[in-house]
Amino acid sequence: MSKKLFLIVFISLTCFYSKAQVAATIDVAQVKQVIDGFGASTAWHTAITDVEADAGFGNATNSQLGLSIIRVRISPTSTDWSGWGDEKKNAVKAKARGAKVLATPWSPPPALKDNNNIIKGSLKPESYAAYAAHLKSFCTYLGNVDVISIQNEPNITVDYESCIWTPAQILEFCKTNAPSIGTPVMAPEAYNFANTFADPILNDPIASANIEYIGGHIYGTSARSYPLANSKNKKLWMTEYYIGGDSIGTGLIMAKDILDCMNGNMNAYIWWYLRVPGCNLINTDGSLQLKGATMGQFSKFIRPGYFRVQSNYQPNAGIIMQAFKGPEQDVIVVINKNTTVKSQTFNFSNENIVNATKYVTSATKKISNDGVITCTNNSFTDNLDAKSITTYVVKRVPSAVNNLKNTEISLFPNPANNFLQLSTIDNINSLYIVNSLGQKIINIKNPQDRTINISNLASGTYIALINYNGAEKRIKFMKQ
């Protein structure tokens, strides 16, 4: 063979292999973090209408987002134009549609600050107890707060409602005053997710025990993992972010940010405004912005209690994805950043799948149901629209484990890593986890949450003893 012919063959083979598409692999047995949900804020919104509440928090149609978290503002006073009354109405409407409530203050009452102003200034040390009482009174007034934050962005100086804290001040408040609020506490909700504010809390045994959530914003930074928070068994919530515009370019940036947060083991992602113009997800008539449709590609299908599972982050150039497992179905969200249609194969392991229903948002589509794809040998291949976000809702073969019903009690996933999920908590009186020696390692009376944290258990086999309706069910599971 001549050198020239050899070179041509070599180049041809190189081009062929460089263009070969890599199959995405989804291993549902490798379970990552539990997902608490996706949400938006109604801060400074006044009261939202039923039409807006349906569009944001309803999930009956493809024009509804199915948001599962609402972030409300704790006004420094209860009497201003967007005071506690409007946010209570918003929280009640969101809660009625299945959402959790996160409450965040931008400033303590002026009298508790060293500048007697809702803008800038700091909380006076002698006012810590009074501030905790203020937060508790808001929770009492709303009656349905699930998580309460101590402060929005304590680490930046701005010319609007705000309060400046140091890491030492946040630490002291968490150690001394957080428990008296009486609601699960989040801290520090820092701008750029500054670890310098969260690390001292997590490294202090008392302060760490007093908070359940680490919150933060990704302005000025990018989503990243936080091993220290994970090691302390804290939920990680990204509680505020927005970008302007409403093109598919904006949607792709937004979708990648969400996927990156999920890839960083975060449990929740919350957009800034629900319907205030400029960065809104919905309009006043209930119609969706393209940004709203982008959020819906996640929030409608990845429901609270689902788990992220192992998958390729970037199986091919310009294609980014994450996969999730729920009690009855699996979900894949894929971005195609390329300007052309791309073929992608998805291979499942440790799962028997039947078909995948495809939903697409692009420059011309908003959560469009693009049909059902038949799966063969736990695999399917599909064409991804150019510049699009695609969600596949994957149906599994029914089984005793997968076909969970509300009338039955089951645990999943099995094997598990850090969290187990109950199929229901209705009528459960107690749950015990017993090791191989018969010792009760975990004891939960009247569980209020379907998620069970087993991150402190050593690898091995355990039995869950579930008492309900006067009967007892035993379920063996493995901790990886």
Question: Among candidates 13, 46, 62, 111, which has minimal Cα distance to 368?
Answer: 62
Question: Does the annotation mark 240 as catalytic?
Answer: yes
Question: Among candidates 365, 363, 296, 293, which has minimal Cα distance to 331?
Answer: 296
Q: Rounded to the nearest 10 degrees, how much is the dihedral formed by the CA atoms of 174, 39, 410, 347?
A: -120
DSSP letters of 405-474?
Answer: -TTS--EESSSBSSEEEES--TTEEEEEEE-TTS-EEEEEES---SEEE-TTSPSEEEEEEEEETTEEEE
Name the helix (H) or strand (E) containing 35.
none
Choosing from 87, 161, 189, 240, the catalytic residue is: 240
Within 8 A by CB and 6+ apart from 86, the residues are: 45, 46, 47
Name the helix (H) or strand (E) containing 330.
strand 329-336
> Omega into 188 within 30° of 0, i.e. cis?
yes
139: number of Cβ within 10 Å? 18
How far from each other are the two terminal CA atoms of the chain, in whole angstroms?
A: 55
How many Å separate Cα 176 from the centre of its chain?
29
Question: Among candidates 334, 341, 348, which has minimal Cα distance to 376?
Answer: 348
How many angstroms separate the CA atoms of 50 and 70, rounded?
15
Task: Please report, for residues 175, 220, 254, 365, the alpha-carbon distance to residue 69 in angstroms, rounded to integers and kept in the order given.
Answer: 27, 24, 18, 25
3-state secondary structure 159-222: CCECCCCCHHHHHHHHHHCHHHHCCCEEEEEEHHHCHHHHHHHHHCHHHHHCCCEEEEECCCCC
| Placement of tokens 């199959």 in the chain | 23
- Backbone angle region of 158, left / alpha / beta, with phi > 0 → left and psi within -120 to 50 → alpha: beta
Structure tokens at 126: 């002698």
Please report how the helices 84-96 and 50-57 are oriented relative to each other, as an axis angle in degrees rounded to 10. 50
Structure tokens at 477: 């599971």
Choosing from 52, 87, 153, 189, the catalytic residue is: 153
How many angstroms separate the CA atoms of 252 and 273, rounded?
18
Q: Tell me which residues are annotated as active site.
A: 153, 240
